[in-house]
Structure 1
Amino acid sequence: MKATTSQKAVIYCRVSSKKQVREGDGLRSQETRCREYAAYKGYEIVGVFCDSVTGSKKKRLGLSAVVKHLKAHRKDGCVVIIDHIDRFARDVRWHWDLRDLLREAGGKLESPSIEFGEDADSILRENLLASVSQHQRQKNAEQTRNRMRARAMNGYWVFQAPMGYRYERVAGHGKMLVPQEPLASIIGEALEGYASGRFEGLTEVKRFLESQPAFPRNSNDEVHIERISEIFSRPVYAGHITIEDWGLRLVPGKHKQLVSLATWQAVQDRRSGTAKAPARADISEDFPLRGFVSCGCCGKPLTACWSKGRSARYPYYLCDTRGCPESRKSIRRDAIEGEFETLLTSLKPTEGLFNVAFAMFRDLWEAKLASQHSQGGTLKKEIALIERKVDALLDRIVDADSDSIVRAYEKRIRDLETQKALMRDRIANCGRPLTSFSEAYRTAFDFLANPCKLWHSEKIEDRRAVLKLAFAERLIYVRGEGYRTAQFSMPFKLIGGAEMNEKEMVPLAGIEPALLAELDFESSASTSSATGAFASHIRMRP
């Protein structure tokens, strides 16, 4: 007699990733084969459920939908058809857990590739096939990891492209990282600025990044400090690859670096050094001198506020230090900032004096460039010495019987490997300037020629930069008298401003070695002084 109703069945298909869904035909091929099997068995297909997730995971949206359907139609005794056992799970434990889950929901598992049964032989065969599927998954993962590690050892980044880079196919290299503008330049400037002291803390870096329209923000239209910390901690921006889980540290990369390794290391040194107070949140366009001008009586930084009058609000600077004789005595903003502009104007050199300074800096630039070419041999000798030290420490680790001693030796080895990587980076870039002298002139000497121009910028970041670039320390202001003698940064001391004339300018050969050291284009990028910040615009590659 012909059956009045046919057996209900659902199809379950799975591929390992969403990429296989976009670029492959695996899901449709599995469904076609399952439908062919259902037609042969005379089953009525009432649903098709799919997943794009690895077979090692137990929780899946598609499979959960299958279980929900089975529970809703328990009386029908629905069949679940899969193409192959490895499409169900690639983990022996999860396989049997999912089998029990389907059974409890009232489903029966079937496949055109295997006959599931409850006898000992069928269970053994099913166990073997599930075990083989698990082994294939683990072996594929192992081979993929080994190939990725080998490519990383050769200097190629193998994960998702970091912000500021994108993947591009390059002849002879395959897909590799290339800078993505304008993000690459923005990130490079943020790293250089933090290393040189232009940005005192991450909060100032945050303000800088938020002022860049091209830099991505979150839903609240801001840049998180955590994102900045992540960017600053990645040596990939310095052209090196570190993957601690794979035992790779500071491997020279084939991609273009955004900053030198020395600059990146300076960033790490600043971040791991003595913590600094975060930048004041109340520094704004209204009071750009807040925190930089100190009280002439107690020496504490002046604060600022708006004072409410009868018909309007008025801006004032004031000392808020308890016990100071000048405490809460207001200074009109126009007075203190007007006198500051007068002080800044006095820094503008005469045209002749400026030309002499320009010629002196050019001579220094060329002299430093020439000297760089002779440093390669010295650096190679230092690398050889470091390698001997590493070998000696490795021998000591073998003989050590204390975990604390082993950890100390390992830390010392990591530090030596970092030094070696820095020296190799310096050898690779010996004698190559970060930019041409003319480009450095346009950025650095334009500021030296007229610092007031940058002070009149609409951006608070630019106005605060003037304070760090032009002055070596905080200004001291005495209410009713004005500013005390200001300590200018080294570049302005050289060109003299209002304090020197052309006759007092000395040629390059007459500059004291100590002064040259302060102007050295290799000066540590980690210094927070105005000299370091200024030099970051014009320094040579180490």
Structure 2
Amino acid sequence: MQKFKEAAQEPKKAVIYCRVSGKKQTKDGSGLSSQEYRCRQYADAKGYSVEEVFPDDVSGGGDFMKRKGMVALLRYLDDHPNEQFVVIFDDLKRYARDVEFHLKLRRLMHERGAIRECLNFNFEDTPEGKLNETVTAAAGAYERESMARQNRQKSIARLEQGFWVFRAPVGYKYVKSRQGGKELVPDEPLASVVRNALEGFASGLFASQTEVQRYLENDPYFPKDMPGGRLRPQTVPRLLRKPIYAGYVYSEEWGISVREGNHEGLISKRTHQRIIDKLDRGVYAPARKDINDDFPLRGAVSCSCCNTLLTAGWSRGCRQPYAYYRCRNRSCDLYGKGIRREVMEADFQKLLAAIQPSRELTAMASAMFHHCWDQFEAQAKEMKVAIQKKMVGLEKEIERIVDRAVDASNPRVISAYENKIEMLEKEKLVMAEKLKNSGKARYSRGDLFELSMRFLTNPRKIWDSGRSDLQKIVLRLVFLGPFKYSKERGFLNYETTLPFKALGGLMCSEYPVMKNGAAGEI
């Protein structure tokens, strides 16, 4: 017994525990290495032999069993039950900053026969020493909780001023603000990638979240969160719904409703609302591994017999593979009967070439465009007045609901009023953005006229570029929905969009036009 006491008084083996509050301090600072260096100096001065070092990079608050380094240290002590160790750490705050877990950890160390030694605190196995240790641990817990409260209060105040305080979303970065602190600014070229994805989904360029996902996965700048350059299924829905991309700030956890931010939005508030409306309607298509750019007409052409959308794929031949479009309906007479890709796509090219209008119709389209532009400018002035009246009405409605909320006592009624006020405030911000941009065209008349006429006069040229994104635009802007294809008779029952109907329809006798602008079966 006396021999054990002497060994306890003069232990020879030691382990070091060091901790910083986060992974960022591990990467950017030298906290762990400096703590280890000081502890090793202490061990050398005491004549201890350092056996192991256990680092951690998590916050000091909470359960120490969630720290990998501390768990490994306790396991190490359990694996050496016949040896006694000194556990050295730089500061008592690195040990535990919660009174409950501090006392529990002290007990676990004692049960394993470990002796705790700290560079900035002297442990004493006396009632006074234990009291001093408990008071010091309580002071550390108070300091941690007080700092957390102050940081939260400052962050809430910052959010209420319109500044984002959390990690910068994809497409943004932090820079120093003239008003103090940091603010978000677009991070190019990543900001343009996110903007194109959001606006593309809102406008219909990307018909589903799946197409947005493929666009982002194919972009070299967008960060991927899965091996193989893939994105997690929840990444795109979260990105599409984030109000911050429309210039808003918010925090559901801290009760900060959506409000105008001080940063530049990547998209307009109106575009964001269109995205939310589209998502709420249930526009979602799961990712498919068999979709590729080899079959641009897939999803746009249906079977002439059963009207089922044709699928497509490659068939292995004797010398080379061959591409076919096929009907996938097992009950159809044409099930499994392939249509060679080059035949169907050649017919489609003829169809696009037939859409090209004459010079007379092109001149007519030019006059129509300028007439519509003049009407747009006149309507913009009327719209501005209407928006101003709408904003006045919203303001009165908000004041009315606020008065009702003040008089209400039922928590559910108060919560309903708060939700209604938040919705109206958001609508008012959208109206303010419309008022600001009323009458302002994103592009000049000349630029829009050139782009529009280039597309209307020769959509086949755009199709022949071979770019899958442009080919999808042609399909959506020229035709209304899927159209049938017969191996013997070609394309049937297709209908063009309004601009091409206005230009007089198709100009080739191979694909005649009906009075309503839709082609009939031959």
Corresponding residue of 2:209: 202
CA-to-partner distance for each residue in 1:86-138, whole Å, 9 max, x for gaps?
A: 22111011111211222122212233544433443333322222111111111
**Cα distance change on mapping 1:277 and 1:148 into 2, 3 Å:** closer
Please say if residues 11 and 45 of structure 1, whose CA atoms lie closer than 8 Å, have aligned partners that are also in contact. Answer: no
- 2:70 matched to 1:63? yes
> What SS does the corresponding residue of 1:177 show, helix, strand or coil?
strand
Which 10-residue stretch deviates more, 178-187 or 482-491?
482-491
Counterpart CA distance in 2 for 1:27 and 1:163 is 30
Counterpart CA distance in 2 for 1:279 and 1:451 is 29
Counterpart CA distance in 1 for 2:79 and 2:284 is 62
**Cα distance change on mapping 1:305 and 1:62 into 2, 3 Å:** closer
Counterpart CA distance in 2 for 1:91 and 1:363 is 73
- 2:101 matched to 1:94? yes
Counterpart CA distance in 2 for 1:215 and 1:29 is 36
Corresponding residue of 1:524: none
Counterpart CA distance in 1 for 2:342 and 2:40 is 83
Please report the TM-score for the alignment, with normalisation by the length of structure 2: 0.81
Corresponding residue of 1:490: 498
Corresponding residue of 1:127: 134
Corresponding residue of 2:307: 299
Please say if residues 40 and 50 of structure 2, whose CA atoms lie closer than 8 Å, have aligned partners that are also in contact. Answer: no
Which 10-residue stretch deviates more, 102-111 or 112-121?
112-121
Q: Report matched runs for 1:129-528 at 5 Å.
A: 129-172=136-179, 174-217=181-224, 218-275=226-283, 278=286, 282-304=290-312, 315-321=323-329, 331-351=339-359, 353-358=361-366, 360-365=368-373, 367-369=375-377, 371-372=379-380, 375-376=383-384, 378-397=386-405, 408-441=416-449, 443-484=451-492, 486-496=494-504, 498=506
State percent identity of aligned pairs: 38
1:153: Cα distance to partner?
2.1
**Cα distance change on mapping 1:399 and 1:127 into 2, 3 Å:** same
Counterpart CA distance in 1 for 2:389 and 2:475 is 42
Partner amino acid, structure 2, of 1:227: T
Corresponding residue of 1:15: 20
Partner amino acid, structure 2, of 1:237: Y
1:210: Cα distance to partner?
3.1
1:223: Cα distance to partner?
3.1
Corresponding residue of 2:59: 54
**Cα distance change on mapping 1:296 and 1:257 into 2, 3 Å:** same
Greater RCO (Cα-Cα under 8 Å, separation 6 or more): 1
**Cα distance change on mapping 1:260 and 1:129 into 2, 3 Å:** same
**Cα distance change on mapping 1:120 and 1:203 into 2, 3 Å:** same
In structure 2, runs of 5+ residues without a counterpart are 1-5, 509-522
1:263: Cα distance to partner?
0.9
Please say if residues 84 and 111 of structure 1, whose CA atoms lie closer than 8 Å, have aligned partners that are also in contact. Answer: yes
Partner amino acid, structure 2, of 1:14: R
> What SS does the corresponding residue of 1:214 show, helix, strand or coil?
coil
CA-to-partner distance for each residue in 1:31-56, whole Å, 9 max, x for gaps?
A: 6766776678x453525554332111
1:245: Cα distance to partner?
1.1
Counterpart CA distance in 2 for 1:317 and 1:147 is 61
Please say if residues 480 and 495 of structure 2, whose CA atoms lie closer than 8 Å, have aligned partners that are also in contact. Answer: yes
Please report the TM-score for the alignment, with normalisation by the length of structure 1: 0.79
Counterpart CA distance in 2 for 1:225 and 1:441 is 39
- 2:121 matched to 1:117? no
**Cα distance change on mapping 1:77 and 1:192 into 2, 3 Å:** same
Counterpart CA distance in 2 for 1:186 and 1:305 is 30
Counterpart CA distance in 2 for 1:396 and 1:235 is 28
Partner amino acid, structure 2, of 1:433: A
Partner amino acid, structure 1, of 2:454: D
1:269: Cα distance to partner?
1.0
> What SS does the corresponding residue of 1:178 show, helix, strand or coil?
strand
CA-to-partner distance for each residue in 1:260-315, whole Å, 9 max, x for gaps?
A: 11111111111110455557654444432233223444433334455677777655
**Cα distance change on mapping 1:241 and 1:223 into 2, 3 Å:** same
Counterpart CA distance in 1 for 2:38 and 2:292 is 67
CA-to-partner distance for each residue in 1:392-444, whole Å, 9 max, x for gaps?
A: 44454566676665555454344323322321222343333334445545654
Counterpart CA distance in 1 for 2:502 and 2:287 is 30
Partner amino acid, structure 2, of 1:212: D
1:475: Cα distance to partner?
1.9
1:462: Cα distance to partner?
2.7
Partner amino acid, structure 1, of 2:217: E
1:201: Cα distance to partner?
1.0
> What SS does the corresponding residue of 1:245 show, helix, strand or coil?
coil
Please say if residues 77 and 106 of structure 1, whose CA atoms lie closer than 8 Å, have aligned partners that are also in contact. Answer: yes
Corresponding residue of 1:535: none
Counterpart CA distance in 1 for 2:454 and 2:105 is 71
**Cα distance change on mapping 1:26 and 1:187 into 2, 3 Å:** closer
**Cα distance change on mapping 1:404 and 1:311 into 2, 3 Å:** same
**Cα distance change on mapping 1:380 and 1:246 into 2, 3 Å:** farther
Counterpart CA distance in 1 for 2:329 and 2:34 is 77
Partner amino acid, structure 1, of 2:146: K
Partner amino acid, structure 1, of 2:273: Q
Pick from 37, 43, 48 the counterpart of residue 44 of structure 1. 48
Counterpart CA distance in 2 for 1:476 and 1:286 is 20
In structure 1, runs of 5+ residues without a counterpart are 501-542
Counterpart CA distance in 2 for 1:364 and 1:75 is 91
CA-to-partner distance for each residue in 1:52-79, whole Å, 9 max, x for gaps?
A: 3211141334434544554566666433
1:11: Cα distance to partner?
4.4
**Cα distance change on mapping 1:248 and 1:209 into 2, 3 Å:** same
**Cα distance change on mapping 1:221 and 1:495 into 2, 3 Å:** same
**Cα distance change on mapping 1:319 and 1:61 into 2, 3 Å:** closer
Partner amino acid, structure 1, of 2:110: R
RMSD over aligned Cα atoms: 3.6
Which 10-residue stretch deviates more, 315-324 or 11-20?
315-324
Please say if residues 206 and 228 of structure 1, whose CA atoms lie closer than 8 Å, have aligned partners that are also in contact. Answer: yes
Counterpart CA distance in 2 for 1:24 and 1:308 is 58
> What SS does the corresponding residue of 2:166 show, helix, strand or coil?
coil
> What SS does the corresponding residue of 1:301 show, helix, strand or coil?
coil
Which 10-residue stretch deviates more, 305-314 or 93-102?
305-314
